[in-house]
Amino acid sequence: MKVLSIGNSFSQDAQRYLHSIAKHNGVDIYTLNLNIGGCSLETHYKNMSENNISYDTEINGVPTGERISIKDAVLSEEWDYITLQQASSQSFDYSTYQPYLKELFNQLKNYCQNAKILIHQTWAYEDGSDRLFEIAHCNTAEEMHSAVKKAYYKCLEDLPFDGIIPSGDAMIEAVRLGIGKIHRDTFHASLGAGRYMLGLLWYKFLTGNDITSNEFLDLDEPISKMQREIVINSVNKVLK
């Protein structure tokens, strides 16, 4: 399976352990993430239209030190899945998605007719984060999550995406279940539990395989047994 993400640091978080989690279960998932920090759909559209070589790349969760354009990345493989996402700073405002999302979707379908195109739902900032009020104009993570979720599901109403990866749902569910710190800087996923959960979520979403017995734990930051249990429970709850 081959997965391309046209994203930013949030897709970088999601792809960090995906290849390794799959490999631990004997499944081959090749991942390529195109990363510009904080990149919006508007900027992705501009970069694709102008064929700008603007993206840092990570293959199988590891930085390559090389840059690429969206078009060259799209044409480099026979992709099974391509993911798109909005920048977290605009994720709660659907008016910022269009017309850029529609144009990106149509261009991707033109280049990769057989690929399934997914929308990757980003997540809310941490309670207490200055960004909650200053950027998202929200008082709590729950409030921001509600707005983000509404915007992302509007994408499914307006365009024939092949599905939505509910990363935001999993992140807020882990908080509800008492995981504690799951952001590393109040907005990115933590290097241990946060990124691990996102990897498990993507793995189960893409393959349908059980994650309960997956024992990959070679993480950049250790997690406790309790955190692992909450992570697995959160993923299984949002992917019933």
| pLDDT digit string, tens, across residues 128-148 | 999 999 999 999 999 999 999
Q: Phi and psi (nearest 5°) for 211? A: -110, -10
* % pLDDT > 70, the chain: 100
pLDDT band at 40 (very low <50, low <70, confident <90, very high): very high
Question: Total structural domains in the chain?
Answer: 1
| pLDDT digit string, tens, across residues 178-205 | 999 999 999 999 999 999 999 999 999 9
CATH number at residue 25: 3.40.50.1110
Q: With contact defined as beta carbons under 8 Å apart, do 236 and 203 qualify?
A: no
- The side-by-side arrangement of strands in the sheet containing 2-7 is 62-68, 55-59, 30-35, 2-7, 81-84, 116-120, 164-165
15: CB partners within 8 A, 6+ apart = 3, 5, 31, 33, 58, 61, 199, 202
Predicted TM-score (pTM) of the model is 0.97
Measure Cα distances from 174 to 129, 141, 171 in Å. Answer: 17, 12, 5
User: Which tokens belong to 137?
Assistant: 């104009």
- The predicted pLDDT at position 240 comes to 87
Instruction: Provide the domain limits for residue 224.
Output: 2-238
| pLDDT digit string, tens, across residues 85-129 | 999 999 999 999 999 999 999 999 999 989 999 999 999 999 999
Q: Phi and psi (nearest 5°) for 185? A: -145, 25
Segments in the chain forming alpha helices (H) = 9-15, 18-24, 41-50, 70-75, 100-111, 130-134, 141-158, 167-176, 193-207, 225-238
Residue 53 identity (one-letter amino acid): I
User: Which tokens belong to 239?
Assistant: 């992917």
* R_g of the chain, CA atoms, integer Å: 17
d(CA 209, CA 223): 22
